[in-house]
Amino acid sequence: MSEQETAPETAPETALETAPEMTTATVPQQPVAPALSEAEAEAEAEAGAEAGAEAETQAPTPAPTPAPGKDRRTLRAVLRWTAAVVVFAVAGAGTAYGITRMDRTDVPGLATASDGRWDYPELTRPPLPSGSPGPFADANPAGAHYADLRALLLPAPAGAKEDKALRGADGWLATKDYLAEYAVKEERDELRQKLVDNGLRHIAARGWTTPDGTRTRIYLLQFGTANVVDNQFASDNVAYSTPAYQVRGSGEAVYDEGFPERAAVSGVERTAYVESKPYGAEQVRQAYVAAGDVFAVILQSRKGTAPAVPFQQTVVLQSQLLG
């Protein structure tokens, strides 16, 4: 267009490309037209100029014609790359959507680090004697556990060393061995009398030490009915702010505000305490669980600090076995 603007006398580019080359030697002979008047000649010239301008603006510029072989190769390459881009885009979008729909632990490399929970074996409740109801069944107003109490003890987690001294004779623990957990002699004597008055039947116990030095002790005390546990013994042992009796090795213990409420087990009452700072050589955590006719005492201690997660895990799993 720039050449046409500077030299308007030149014919349109399309005419130059399509018309045959013309020289004085090749001009064909044409019949002579009749002479025109001056006015007619000017009108015809203006009409021709307008037609030429319209043709210049409307006629598209033809694309250059590439060499046939090179054009086919280029076209195939473009098509291949276009297809590849589309495939990768679809695959990428699908992968991104899949990851957003997956849990973090399902994506390799993004698994959540261990939160300190112990590796317990798969838990199953022992079978009930034929015709016996569960502790919270409507047909069992006494809340009695008819399954063997020793089979209701939580097993030790993987890698733990079991405390054989807590097994007792035939799996039953002597009352004096349970009372040895408490530091003050006067309190032990008082607690012994309450056990007698409330009709303690027997005690099943289990304990272990994990490789990090955490010591766990679980005591299951069985009484005649759930009413005895709920209204007498539990109320004598558990207060909101602090435990009624001081556990050996523990300083001041306070209500454990960090124990998650959502971890409650239906039908089971739980109260947990943690030794507050400053504590001595070790920290002690303790929980008291009332489940029907069973009162469970769960203790964990460790030099330095007793971690909260395995303690909470242990309390919840033992509560589930009793529930």
Specify the pLDDT at position 42.
52
| CB count in 10 Å sphere of residue 309 | 12
Angstrom distance (rounded) from CA 223 to CA 237: 15
Q: What is the mean pLDDT of each run of 10 residues along the chain (323 residues)?
A: 41 36 38 45 50 47 50 52 48 38 36 76 93 95 96 97 90 96 96 95 97 98 96 80 92 93 92 92 96 97 96 97 95
Q: Please give the pLDDT value at position 4.
A: 41
Q: Which pLDDT score is estimated for 82?
A: 53
Which domains, and CATH codes, for the chain?
149-322 (3.40.1000)
- What pairs with residue 43 in β-bridges? none
Does an H or E element contain 303, and which? strand 294-303
SS3 per residue for 24-72: CCCCCCCCCCCCCCHHHHHHHHHHHHHHHHHHHHHCCCCCCCCCHHHHH
Nearest to 211, CA basis, from 116, 121, 276, 114: 116
Place of tokens 């006015």: 39
Query: What angle (nearest 5°) sits at the alpha carbon of residue 42, between those of residues 44 and 31?
Result: 55
Q: Tell me if 171 sits within 8 A of 204, measured CB to CB.
A: yes
**Which residues, including other chains, have CB under 8 Å from residue 301's CB and lie 6 or more apart?**
214, 215, 249, 250, 282, 283, 284, 285
Kindly give, in sequence order, each residue whose CB lies less than 8 Å from that of residue 216, ignoring residues fewer than 6 positions away. 156, 160, 207, 208, 209, 210, 298, 299, 300, 314
Give the whole-angstrom CA distance, residue 279 versus residue 257: 18
Measured distance CA(114)–CA(319) in Å, rounded? 23
